[in-house]
A and B are shown apart, each in its own frame.
Chain A
Amino acid sequence: MTDAWLAGQRTAFAACRDSLPGSGTPWVDALRAEAFRQFEEDGPPTARIEEWRSGPTAALTGQVFAPAAPDGARHAEVPAPYLEGPRHRLVFVDGRFSRDHSDAGEPPKGVRLTTLSALLAENPQAARDLIGDPDAFAEERLSRVTDRRPQALVALNTALASDGAVLLIEDGVALAHPLEIVHVARDTDEPRAHHLRTLIALGAGARAHVVEVHAGGGAGVWTNHVTDIAVGAGARLEHVRADAGSVAAVHVDVAHARLRAGAAYAGFVLAATGGAVRTETRLALEEPGADGEVNGVCLARGSGHIDALTRLDHHAREGTSRQLWRGIFADTARGAFQGRIRVLPDASGTNAALDNRNLLLNAGARAESKPELEILTDDVACSHASATGELDADALFYLRSRGLSEQLARALLMEAFTGAVADRIAHEGMREFIRRLVDDRLHALGSATS
């Protein structure tokens, strides 16, 4: 099947390479060609690749997805805004920016809020300059990324990215209102792929809150989404990613962030599915005193599969990082968490913690937890904890003896289990949105098992 799958990607690239954003601009064309070559060299993800050991490889390569066609966005069913109150909103339908559904508002001076296609079309050279370090951006961030190869899907995304949100903030500027990025994938009869690229770059001392939501989906949808993030010295980014997809979508969501001195990245991931999800978060704490937080809630039902991977690399001294992950798996769903803290030789004084707990609601559900510590220096404080179990029978009985129905008691315990993670979201509006979404998804889990 993978031969046919690879052939499908070749056909796709040949068919759309001349119509993708930036096409005709030499450096963009060269980058896309190089990225596709790298994708072919890396080959499709398989269980033989350590990082994909528990990944949804069969769901991914089991059908040949063609790139989604750029039509009909106008008539798409787009969800109402998720965040209450003032916000900037960019909506993408089937991998393309939808002006009709977006409301970018008026970002403050020093903030460039646009799309990948607009940036590359308006002034590709300026786009290159705006990005700051074009070589690093092109060669590392858009294709080779910051971690070990193979990264075939990131390379494929670079080759085929049809659009995406771009947020560039100058030194010392704060984006007062949150940015809501919505990706809507419409289900079709034919399997369709959506390659989206989000770029977020914060200058020194800048501030922003960003939520990215994936909506829609369906049995024939593969989303391959990459978010590239650079957080400048002393800057702070809160980044929430939520998959609100429907059953049987294959959803691959990768975020890479590079942190300069004293920078802070606070990330939250919600994966809720009956389909297959692969979520990756890779942070490089490149300079002293950076702070990285990556938390997540994974909720799978039916025959759903969630594979979560984190890579937190401490390159420099006095860095801190925290990871708090909770998973609930119902029916015959399965989950895997691979979380790694790596402390490199120059990163003395690192303080890093990782905590992963999973609940299994049914005998058929499975969860695997694989925390990894790789410590290459002394004078560090690293901890990790992981546990997998069922809902506490004593707690259930206690709640029922007070009058709560079994269903309500289970829901309350599951809410408590995941609530501690959602509560870490600093922005109130984003926290409330995620709490509502988690409650909604927990309800789906509850009804799946009752």
Chain B
Amino acid sequence: MSEPLLTIRNLRASVDDKEVLKGIDLSVAAGEVAAIMGPNGSGKSTLSNVLAGRDGYEVTDGEVRYDGQDLLAMEPEERAATGVFMAFQYPVEIPGVVNATFTRTALNAQRKARGESAIDAIDFLKGARATLARLEMDEDFLRRDVNAGFSGGEKKRNEIFQMAMLEPRLAILDETDSGLDIDALRIVATGVNAMRNPERALVVITHYQRLLEYVVPDSVHVLADGRIARSGDRELALELERAGYAAFQPA
């Protein structure tokens, strides 16, 4: 087996001088769907923020290799250009920036960084319409301002739409299932499943198991108190659903 697409080794990180990640080890191969589950306060959002490169998180030890590169040394936009996508738990509202313009600007910024030619507006629109249809999203989404006035479900679907358009090699979905009703969950899951292919890795970060009923993971990792406490297959998620996180909580 070749080198995993994503390798996290002994990752330690602090927020406001408080250590939250206490030595994470995790590998995700291309083609794999890995679920990271954990109770509140276990470090899930810190992990996703560190991987995305948000300010305010201090990495004190360890490393993250992505496709043979030092991910932590890269600016957020460099991570995006090299194929890393973060679907945020709380997508930001940006009034005044039209969704279509934003998504095409992002796509072309990434393509430019990779030395590829820009996609023109017409080709972009063609692809965007097809993707929207697949996600059961109205074309109106393209004309609306980015997430402005969107419902929780619409924001999450907009993240999936962007993911589909940007075609990342590594997608990290941070609590994408939170706040979704059952129909929205099914649509989001369909969108995520459509992304599965042998070249691409997906990391699904979630508190609950319910998204994993639709997006069946290849591996499941339990994050507790800043470490991967246990790893397993899909059965582990089901076990957590029955027994809860009690066994992983600090006494």
Chain B residues proximal to chain A, CB less than 8 Å: 52-55, 75-77, 79-81, 86, 88, 91-92, 94-97, 102-103, 105-107, 109-110, 113, 145, 162, 166
A-side interface mostly:
helix
Contact flags A363-407 to B (C-beta < 8 A → 1, else 0):
000000000000000000000000000001111011111111110
What are 22 contact pairs spanning A and B, CB under 8 A? A393-B55, A397-B55, A399-B102, A400-B75, A401-B53, A401-B76, A401-B88, A402-B162, A403-B106, A403-B110, A403-B113, A403-B166, A404-B105, A404-B106, A404-B109, A406-B75, A408-B109, A409-B77, A412-B97, A413-B97, A416-B95, A416-B145
The answer to whether B92 touches A395, judged by C-beta atoms less than 8 angstroms apart, is yes
A395 to B109, CA, bound (A): 17
The answer to whether A413 touches B77, judged by C-beta atoms less than 8 angstroms apart, is no
Q: Which residues of the other chain, B, contact A409 by a CB distance below 8 angstroms?
A: 77
The answer to whether A400 touches B55, judged by C-beta atoms less than 8 angstroms apart, is no
Given A398-B91, A402-B106, A408-B105, A415 contacting B77 (CB threshold 8 A): no
Q: How many contacting A-B pairs (Cβ < 8 A)?
A: 75
Given A403-B81, A403-B109, A397 contacting B54 (CB threshold 8 A): yes
Q: Which residues of the other chain, A, contact B109 by a CB distance below 8 angstroms?
A: 402-405, 408
A398 to B97, CA, bound (A): 13
Given A393-B55, A403-B81, A406-B77, A412 contacting B166 (CB threshold 8 A): no
Least CB distance from B164 to A in Å reads 13
Q: Which residues of the other chain, A, contact B94 by a CB distance below 8 angstroms?
A: 395, 398-399, 413, 416
Q: Choose among A393, A401, A420 the residue with the greatest number of B CB atoms under 10 Å from its CB.
A: A401
Considering the complex, give the chain A residue whose CB is closest to the CB of B114. Answer: A403
A404 to B54, CA, bound (A): 14
The answer to whether A402 touches B97, judged by C-beta atoms less than 8 angstroms apart, is no
Q: Which residues of the other chain, B, contact A419 by a CB distance below 8 angstroms?
A: 96
| A5 CB–B CB distance under 8 Å | no
The answer to whether B80 touches A398, judged by C-beta atoms less than 8 angstroms apart, is no
Q: Which residues of the other chain, A, contact B91 by a CB distance below 8 angstroms?
A: 398
| A417 CB–B CB distance under 8 Å | yes
Least CB distance from B116 to A in Å reads 12
Q: Which residues of the other chain, B, contact A402 by a CB distance below 8 angstroms?
A: 77, 80, 102-103, 106, 109, 162, 166
A402 to B162, CA, bound (A): 9
Q: Which residues of the other chain, B, contact A397 by a CB distance below 8 angstroms?
A: 52, 54-55, 76, 92
Q: Which residues of the other chain, A, contact B162 by a CB distance below 8 angstroms?
A: 402
A415 to B113, CA, bound (A): 22
The answer to whether A392 touches B105, judged by C-beta atoms less than 8 angstroms apart, is no
A206 to B107, CA, bound (A): 48
Partner of B77 from the list A395, A405, A417 (CB cut-off 8 Å) is A405
Considering the complex, give the chain A residue whose CB is closest to the CB of B103. Answer: A402
Q: Of residues 404 to 445 in A, which have CB atoms within 8 Å of B's CB atoms?
A: 404-406, 408-409, 412-413, 415-417, 419-420
A412 to B98, CA, bound (A): 10
Partner of A401 from the list B80, B96, B97 (CB cut-off 8 Å) is B80
A403 to B119, CA, bound (A): 15
A164 to B75, CA, bound (A): 53
Least CB distance from A196 to B in Å reads 34
Given A401-B53, A408-B109, A415 contacting B96 (CB threshold 8 A): yes
Least CB distance from B148 to A in Å reads 10
The answer to whether A404 touches B77, judged by C-beta atoms less than 8 angstroms apart, is yes
Q: Which residues of the other chain, B, contact A420 by a CB distance below 8 angstroms?
A: 95-96
Q: Which residues of the other chain, A, contact B97 by a CB distance below 8 angstroms?
A: 412-413, 415-416
Q: Which residues of the other chain, A, contact B53 by a CB distance below 8 angstroms?
A: 400-401
A395 to B162, CA, bound (A): 16
The answer to whether A401 touches B79, judged by C-beta atoms less than 8 angstroms apart, is yes
Considering the complex, give the chain B residue whose CB is closest to the CB of A409. Answer: B77
Q: Of residues 322 to 376 in A, which have CB atoms within 8 Å of B's CB atoms?
A: none
The answer to whether B55 touches A412, judged by C-beta atoms less than 8 angstroms apart, is no
A401 to B78, CA, bound (A): 8
Q: Which residues of the other chain, B, contact A405 by a CB distance below 8 angstroms?
A: 77, 109
